[in-house]
A and B are shown apart, each in its own frame.
Chain A
Amino acid sequence: QVQLVESGGDVVQPGRSLRLSCVASGFTFSSYAIHWVRQAPGKGLEWVAVVSYDGNNKYFADSVKGRFTISRDNPKNTLYLLMNSLRPEDTAVYYCARVLVPAALSPACDIWGQGTTVTVSS
């Protein structure tokens, strides 16, 4: 079935790096933009980043710009989020989410992963 599965979440110290992965199945991964959205404990949704279907267009939230990188490997049906210089405020559940309309970048996402937890603490 159509699904996204995230992995890579861990407990890391401030300043360290972590790479999250999101593996897609059941649809043509290379046709869809994919977002990363996070949710800190007890807080609301925060948009993090998006990459276009072909990987050529990438946008980031101001809170992560310059520290996080988004990339995709379409032959491997996999999306990545490389997080550098992690801060305690990056602690959250990270979701990858597929846009409903293939050509769009707007965060109207119909398929979400189950989330992976990142904890930044010394």
Chain B
Amino acid sequence: QSVLTQPPSVSAAPGQKVTISCSGSSSNIGINYVSWYQQFPGTAPKLLIYDNDKRPSGIPDRFSGSKSGTSATLDITGLQTADEADYYCGTWDSRLTTGGVFGGGTKLTVV
């Protein structure tokens, strides 16, 4: 059971937009920055979004992030078949036992 809750899967057609949600609590998303990762099978995760809505150099603006209260969202527009991957949200949790936390991951299917 992950501390952050993501839908197990989402799907959309090429060219469309998809939204992936990440739900947390007041001790994690509510007070800390959220990051988002893309992962293809057998490879290391790749940072897509950090500090809720910032993109590292080289990440296309088709990928965008936002945060509201204790939830965060990753939007992907102009979907491409190459976007089919697993997506994870992550943040810091400031409870008594402090540490990093990830969502359970969302499998994006582009059909």
Q: Which residues from chain A sit less than 8 Å from chain B, CB to CB?
A: 35, 37, 44-47, 49-50, 59-62, 65, 95, 97, 100-101, 105-110, 112-115
| Interchain CA distance A61-B97 in the complex, whole Å | 8
Of B46, B97, B98, B104, which is within 8 A of A44 by CB? Answer: B104
Number of interface residues of B (CB under 8 A): 27
* Given known A-B contacts A45-B45, A112-B45, A106 and B92 have beta carbons under 8 A apart: yes
* Given known A-B contacts A44-B105, A100-B56, A115-B44, A108 and B98 have beta carbons under 8 A apart: no
Of B50, B92, B97, B102, which is within 8 A of A45 by CB? Answer: B102
Q: Does B70 lie at the interface of the complex (its beta carbon under 8 Å from any beta carbon of A)?
A: no
* Given known A-B contacts A100-B50, A108-B51, A109-B47, A47 and B56 have beta carbons under 8 A apart: no
**What mask results when residues 21 to 45 of chain B are scored 1 for a CB within 8 Å of chain A, else 0?**
0000000000011010101000011
**Inter-subunit contact A47/B51 (CB<8 Å):** no
- Chain A proximity of B43: nearest CB distance (Å): 8
Q: Is the interface of B mostly helix, strand, loop or mixed?
A: strand
**Inter-subunit contact A50/B100 (CB<8 Å):** yes
| Interchain CA distance A114-B32 in the complex, whole Å | 27
Q: A97: which B residues are within 8 A, CB to CB? A: 44-45
Q: Which 3 A-B pairs have the closest CB atoms?
A: A47-B100, A108-B50, A112-B44
Q: Which residues from chain B sit less than 8 Å from chain A, CB to CB?
A: 2, 32-33, 35, 37, 39, 44-47, 50-51, 56, 86, 88, 90-92, 97-105
Q: B99: which A residues are within 8 A, CB to CB? A: 47, 49-50, 59-62
| Interchain CA distance A105-B33 in the complex, whole Å | 11
Q: B86: which A residues are within 8 A, CB to CB? A: 44
| Interchain CA distance A10-B19 in the complex, whole Å | 39
In the complex, 17 of the A-B residue pairs with CB atoms within 8 angstroms, ordered by the A residue number, are A35-B100, A37-B102, A44-B86, A44-B102, A47-B102, A49-B99, A59-B100, A61-B99, A61-B100, A106-B91, A106-B92, A108-B35, A109-B35, A109-B47, A110-B50, A112-B44, A112-B45
